[in-house]
Every structure is written in C-alpha cells, then in structure tokens.
Structure 1
C-alpha cells in the first residue's frame, strides 16, 4: 500500500528535516544538479507538488515570478511556509496529489521524490495532469531515488517510465546514478544549445 499522509505527519512530528535535506551532502548535491539541469534560467511560474519542508522550493523561488508548492502533510506545509516566509511570490498549500491538482498553467513542474508514493493509477493521472498544465513552452523535471522503498510498489526508474509514457513529451536531459535518476522533458524538445542557436 502507498504511504499515507499520517505516516509523513509522524516523520515531521519527530523532525523538521526527516530526510536530511539541509544537512546531507547527497541532498544538497542533488538539488544543485536539479537546478543545473533546468533548460531555462528563469520561469514565469513553477509548481512543485510534494514539497516536504520546502528546501527545494526555496532554491526554485529565485528562478521564477510565481511559485506554488504543496504537500499532503500539514506539518510539512507549515515548515515550508516558514522556509518561504520571506518570498512574497511563493505560495504553499495543503493539497493531496493528484486529487487536488490546481487549475493553473505552469512553465515548469518539478516532481521530486513523490511519484513512488502514489498508486500506479494516481501516478498516471498525475502525469496527465502535468501535461495538461504545462504552457506551450513548458518543462517537466522529475528526480527520484532508484532503490525500492518499503511500502512502495516501484522505484524511481519505473516512476520515470510512467511519466514518459503518459506525457509523451520529448526528453532533453537524462541523468542516472546508482542512487537516483533525473529526467527533463519539454514541450518543444529543444536542447539548451539548440534553443540558443548554437546547433
């Protein structure tokens, strides 16, 4: 069975940083790679579902005019709001994915360490929601832990296969390590070099 919001509530009740997002070099490096893989330097609007305590959202905030982050765990939302309290263009909401998917358009959607917590049908629904919410020049970035997690049916590779199959978007970045996989898909399917006229 997928892990439920009460499970995550208990994690955040015990620690304001249960995965060591602030303290582990692994997490700091992964965030740096995530930001480096974005094909644009700046976006009008970014959506990050499953934002946890807001560490990645805080790094995404300087890259956009408008940021929406959300999580199903109320304690996580409180922490993320505190983390982003000095960012007036950032909004953090309590939302369960994909049921509460926002009726908005985004230039960038970031699905980080979320997909394997969803049942396969919900992950497919989320992927289609991403596609429906991307602007004509929109980008979808996904980054997930590859090994299986207790309580989850699949690892990061399977999550990305489902996202790719359901969106049908061209992939412009693929980064894979033993620990995690990171992919970027875009509407236009152009590399950064091609978009800037280098190729």
Structure 2
C-alpha cells in the first residue's frame, strides 16, 4: 500500500479532485450505473471505504439511513466531510482498510468497494473479503466497482479482485456490468432478483 499512498499524496497535492469525480462524464455515468445496480431502494446501515472526496458518498447518502465513509488519506477525509457536512446521518473517518475495519459500527446491509480493491495485495484482498463476509447482515448487499485498465500503482486487477469476492464472500451475484473501462458487480445474501423482491414474480 505504500506506493499507493505516495501516488495518492502526489495526486492530492495537484488537485482536490484528481480523478474528476465532480465533473467528469465518465465518473458521473459510473455513479449513475452504481446506484442503478443496487437491488434495494434503501439501506439501513452502509459502509464505503475508499471514499475519496465524497462524491459517491453524497449520492449513496440519499439511499441510506446511516452511512459510514472512510479513506486512508487525510485530505480525502477533509474533502469528503465538507461534501456531506449537511447530512447528519453520514460519518467520514480516516481508516486504513481492511486493517482498521469498523467492527463497532456494523453489521452493514450495504458495503460499497469502489476504486479501492486494486491497491491491495493478495493477502489484504483475502482479509477484505473475510471482513466483508463477517460484516454483512442476512439481507446484505456488496457492490464492487473498479477501473479495468492497468496502471502502475495497482497491485491487482479489477477482474482479480471481483473474482476473489465472488469466491470468498459466500454471496449470490445479482448483477454484472462489464465494459472495457469499468467492472461493476453486485452480490447479496438474498439471492432474489429485484422483481422477486418487489413481488412481481
């Protein structure tokens, strides 16, 4: 993770929005896809590690009664707190996940792993999968969303991380969005489709 920390430090020294999360069409479209793929309209208690400057956090907050967001970078935490300052049901903390997992605020019925898992090595990915599995409620949802193109700071690929979640978390996959730049997968302990949950089948 050390090289990733240095890389992210350098990015935040140049900009408070180094990935163009606020205004980039790619990022706005990705947020829309992420929200659309969630199988439930609302969640009771959610966790979003790797929240960056809080743009996805603010969007998820509209679907959650309680949301904990976290990032290892002090600047990201400060920016995310400012972004959701008017949302009292959202907390933003500085945490190094998976080591500093919030076991005191779970269980969670939604965990969102977005643009984060590829910075972890194989051991930390295994630990992350175990933490997720142990922290989800019986009706819990896991959503993972990652950039697929290779870059120097990535220790694992998006495809590798998602394949590990598929095998290790003990969940049923409900949705899979696959394109050249982007991979989104959704799993749940509740294997019913959205139509089944709504009583349409």
TM-score range, shorter chain: over 0.9
> What's the counterpart of residue 32 of structure 1?
32
Q: Distance in 2 between matches of 1:45 and 1:140?
A: 12
Distance 1:32 1:170, change over 3 A: same
> What's the counterpart of residue 132 of structure 2?
130
The residue correspondences of 1:42-53 to structure 2 (distance < 5 A) are 42-53=42-53
> What's the counterpart of residue 181 of structure 1?
183
Unaligned runs of 5+ in 1: none
Q: Deviation at 1:147?
A: 1.6
Q: Distance in 2 between matches of 1:68 and 1:9?
A: 23
Q: Distance in 2 between matches of 1:2 and 1:181?
A: 25
> What's the counterpart of residue 58 of structure 2?
58
> What's the counterpart of residue 99 of structure 2?
99
What secondary structure, in the 3-state scheme, does the structure 2 residue paired with 1:65 have? Answer: coil
User: How many residues of Structure 1 are paired with residues of Structure 2 in the alignment?
Assistant: 199
The residue correspondences of 1:12-27 to structure 2 (distance < 5 A) are 12-27=12-27
Contact residue 37 and residue 175 of structure 2 kept, 8 A: yes
Cα root mean square deviation, aligned: 1.2
Greater shift, 189-198 or 78-87, is seen at 189-198
What secondary structure, in the 3-state scheme, does the structure 1 residue paired with 2:66 have? Answer: strand
TM-score (norm 1): 0.96
TM-score (norm 2): 0.95
What secondary structure, in the 3-state scheme, does the structure 2 residue paired with 1:12 have? Answer: helix
Contact residue 108 and residue 134 of structure 1 kept, 8 A: yes
Q: Distance in 1 between matches of 2:51 and 2:3?
A: 16
Q: Distance in 1 between matches of 2:159 and 2:2?
A: 17
Q: Distance in 1 between matches of 2:184 and 2:63?
A: 19
Q: Distance in 2 between matches of 1:132 and 1:48?
A: 16
Contact residue 61 and residue 90 of structure 1 kept, 8 A: yes
Q: Deviations along 1:42-98, whole A, 9 cap, x unmatched?
A: 111110000000000000001111010000000100000000111001000000011
> What's the counterpart of residue 4 of structure 1?
4
Q: Deviations along 1:107-163, whole A, 9 cap, x unmatched?
A: 100000100000111011101101111111000000111121212233211110011
Q: Distance in 2 between matches of 1:145 and 1:179?
A: 6
Contact residue 109 and residue 139 of structure 1 kept, 8 A: yes
Q: Distance in 2 between matches of 1:139 and 1:181?
A: 17
What secondary structure, in the 3-state scheme, does the structure 1 residue paired with 2:62 have? Answer: helix
> What's the counterpart of residue 194 of structure 1?
196
